[in-house]
Structure 1
């Protein structure tokens, strides 16, 4: 028995938010002080560091659970399964449904229950639940689905990552330009086909690092609103990631028994282009190798950072031939790797 992804799907929102659309924002430092640069310079520096020139936002009438449903529908069709045969629906997210112009996150019922409802699945033994695990949530949900299948508790699982980060942004924070919306989904099955999940690794650093990404108030000290937004200590995260992620990736690859020379692609969470490149370069340095050209596909330039949705969306687009100069073939060995709030790191070695 092997555990394989038999179908993929994604939903990329229609609204394109370009960097120049932030020209009229009043960006402030975290203490409320004025930033001593024009918005033009702030945006240019942002593009140079993150690689992001535009991102996608969901239309006002759509919620994260709607996008999760769209991606799930496509994955189910791609896998050619009967959705009534699903044993689990696992939805990775961080903020639930945040309706347009709302100040609240709605997680009752769970996102998974909402998706199951939208899919019209009647089978009560199809169990739906959510996972909160920061940006590595989708990867961890795939690991959990694999565990259910290995334990004989499931044969078919639907795993989704969906987020509308555009609705929890502080418009006075430069970091708000990083985040975007989107959804990606896969069907994970027990199968007699060759390949599948060969190894996985997960670690949590929470002694000093737990609050590197957090919920905080606006940078605008004159605001009386107590609404909170996604915040992060960017420098600390960068240093944490380039120090700890390569080691976790190496541990995962070593436990799989796969020679690094046989690793065809690394699908890493689309967090920050410079950081991701530094992580992968350091990973190969652990094997005394240079980073191979083209091994790290990127979508962050056009899609931004949609948290749990970045890896499944990237995987789906490559498999569907929608990413220029990137392809994955049957039998290829790839790695999924992610880092995010918690601080959590995880990786999977997977043979297509």
Structure 2
């Protein structure tokens, strides 16, 4: 019988832009308050990319960190996947731009767009490549400059988002790694969280609302809590595990209330949940890999522990990954 091949994490990296925007800074430009934002979201501050920084710039810095931890050369990568909803260009893909920056040539490189679930989608695709033997070392990145599609006059959305990038290096291994991934989508919820225009659907007016994020927060919250609870159960059942088998929850960092509601349903303690939303805000596809990187680098997550990664985003899309780190 052939031995199972796993996708094992051998390196992680993260990058946050230097500019910090606090809730108090936002009080000066929209009708809001630090207390209101903290109470409803748990967010205290967010990072914003400099005017001359692009998504690829952020992705590059996170990727270099991951390569250093993995102790491999970029030429060893045989697949590069970037999850982003804010690419540098319509084409070529941000992954191709990143490939050139890293000095890799010939490895396939492409982007995935699943908004906040993008990294989990990308991780799932990378895992299939490794399991089928089509790749042995894969760079998976989640990177965003959401500030570029944020309406800074809309107090309902501008308080929520930030910029950043996270990366992981996966390697084919006979040691346990990614145990399973689960990804889903339901496009009927399109207008609850979206940007109204795009490349083929031009803005109807010069109104900034046509070109920036629009969200119906209460509706998104309700669906997100139920969906994340459901996919956690789906993931555990698929692996013959129970809630008590989990060591860590590494969730998408959208809202503290959503995170804690999910952790409570999984019967996890607060100190078993990786939380970065207070300092990072919602960085879409970058949030899960940045949280993972932080908890690995500060020593909280240890080899041999079982991690549940999960995310929920516009589309709606949602997904999970169960990992033996």
What TM-score results when the alignment is normalised by the length of structure 1? Answer: 0.85
Is residue 2:228 matched to residue 1:232?
Answer: no
Unaligned stretches of 5+ residues in structure 1: 28-38, 98-105, 218-222, 285-289
Q: In the TM superposition, what whole-angstrom CA distance separates every residue of 1:141-193 from its partner, at most 9, and x where no partner exists?
A: 0110010111121111100000011121112211111100000001111013x
Matched with 1:258 is 241
- The structure having more radius of gyration, on CA atoms, is 1
Residue equivalent to 1:59: 50
Residue 347 (str. 1) matches residue 320 (str. 2): yes
For residues 50 and 350 of structure 1, the distance between their equivalents in structure 2, rounded to whole angstroms, comes to 27
> Does 2:276 match 1:299?
yes
Separation (CA, whole Å) in 1 of partners of 2:27 and 2:231: 39
1:273-292 → structure 2 map (5 Å cutoff): 273-282=256-265, 284=266, 290-292=267-269
Task: Give the whole-Å Cα distance in 2 for the aligned partners of 1:239 and 1:135.
Answer: 16
Moved more, 306-315 or 81-90: 81-90
Partners in 1 of 2:245 and 2:206 — Cα distance? 56
Q: Secondary structure at the match of 1:335?
A: strand
Alpha-carbon distance, 1:258 to partner: 2.6
Contact 1:199–1:253 under 8 Å retained in 2: no
Q: How many residues align?
A: 312
Q: Find the aligned partners of 1:351 and 1:152 in 2 and give their Cα distance.
A: 20
RMSD over equivalenced CA pairs, Å? 1.6
Segments of 5+ residues of structure 2 without an aligned counterpart are: 198-204
SS in 2 for 1:44: helix
Does residue 206 of the first structure (1) align with residue 187 of the second (2)? yes
For residue 224 of structure 1, report the CA deviation from its aligned partner: 4.8
Matched, 1:15 2:19: yes
Q: How far off its partner does 1:259 sit?
A: 3.2
Structure-2 residue corresponding to 1:244: 227
Name the structure 2 match of 1:74.
65
TM-aligned CA deviation for residue 293 of structure 1: 3.3
Moved segments of 4+, more than 4 Å: none
- CA separation in 2, counterparts of 1:185 and 1:224? 36
Moved more, 255-264 or 67-76: 255-264
State the distance in 1 between where 2:134 and 2:242 align: 32
Matched, 1:186 2:168: yes
Distance 1:225 1:203 in 2: 33
Alignment of 1:16-35 (within 5 A): 16-27=20-31
| Secondary structure at 1:135 match in 2 | helix
Find out whether 1:308 has 2:285 as its counterpart.
yes
The structure in which a higher percent of residues are helix is 2
Please list the CA deviations of residues 291-330 of structure 1 after superposition, one character each: whole Å capped at 9, or x if unmatched: 3231211111111111111111111111111xxxx70111
Where does residue 331 of structure 1 map in the other structure? 304
